[in-house]
Every structure is written in structure tokens, then in C-alpha cells.
A and B are shown apart, each in its own frame.
Chain A
Amino acid sequence: DIQLTQSPSSLSASVGDRVTITCRASQGIHTYLVWYQQKPGNVPRLLIYATSVLRSGVPSRFRGSGSGTDFTLTISSLQPEDVATYYCQQYDSDPRTFGQGTKVEIK
């Protein structure tokens, strides 16, 4: 099974800060990576698929990049509504593993 390791596990940043979350795969997954956002008490929401394709309606401050084993989710200017836990998931092969999540808070 492919393992996904996210870092950091949590972070606290100020409004307007640039935030970077990384997701490392235990083996190459091409660009078959997705990012989800889950706000407290809510259902996960698709943000980005195929590593870097922004889902329609997702603010442009979210950006995904990477390939192979190393991937990044960047929030260019953190907003209060971005407080959430972010998960990566690979769909290169079954089982479709998730990262353990990164909790983003406002300082």
C-alpha cells in the first residue's frame, strides 16, 4: 500500500500569511493526488485534483503542485474561513490512501 505522510500535522499562522502543507508518498504516484478541506463539523470538500487542478468555485489562493512522491498545497494568503483540516489522497492505486491530515489554525 502507498503511504502518504503530511507535514506538518498542525500549524498556526496569521491572516494573510502564506501557508504550505506537504504530502509525501512512499512511492511514485505520478500526479494522481487530491486535496480535501474539512472544516470542523463538516463533510470533506474537494479542493484540488490531479495535483494542481483547482475545482470550480475554489478560491485562487489555493494552489497545488508536485509530482512523483512530493506534493504541496499552498494557501497564498490565509483567510479566517480557511481554518480546517486538509487531507491529501492518492488515486494512483488501490487502496486509495489518505494522508493523516494537517490542521490549520489562525494565530
Chain B
Amino acid sequence: KQEVTQIPAALSVPEGENLVLNCSFTDSAIYNLQWFRQDPGKGLTSLLLIQSSQREQTSGRLNASLDKSSGRSTLYIAASQPGDSATYLCAVKLWLGTYKYIFGTGTRLKVLA
């Protein structure tokens, strides 16, 4: 059974720090992996999508990497800002008779001004 784990569950950092969020999955036969951001009480905003054939994707201050063999993805946030405070979720898409998304439990990030 595919499990998606995110560590740490919560993180508090001072503004300006570079930080790394981790996502681990148990089954390497994924189709792709997506990072989302969720603000309190709100829906999800897609940040980066990495296809299984790719190693990384970049968007602005965000960089996501994917290592299928080790079942890991990292989201790197450079020069963090208070506006980055949110919960970050990773989701893997895999084939289970049909395509399904499995979401991690998230990392709650707080960037202090």
C-alpha cells in the first residue's frame, strides 16, 4: 500500500532562511509527484509538478527534486518570507487499476518576520 510521509510535521523559521521540506513515498512506481500549498481554511494551490522521468522542477524561489529510487522528494524554498507561511502538501499519482492521488499529511510552515 502506498504511503506518503512528510517530515517535519511543523516548522518555524526566521525570515530569510533557506529551508527544505521532505516527502517520502513507499512505492517508487509513481506517475508524477506534485507539491501544493494550502493556506488556513482554503483550497490547495499547485506549486510544482514533477513527472516520473524528471529529476527536478523550479519556479521562482521554489525548487523540487525527485528521487524515485529512494522514494523521496524535497521542496527547497530559498530566502523564505512571512508570506510563505502555509501548509505544504505533496501528492503522488500512481496507477492502482486507475490513476489515483495519494496525499501526504503536510508540513505546517511558519516564517517569522
Question: Are A and B associated in one complex?
Answer: no
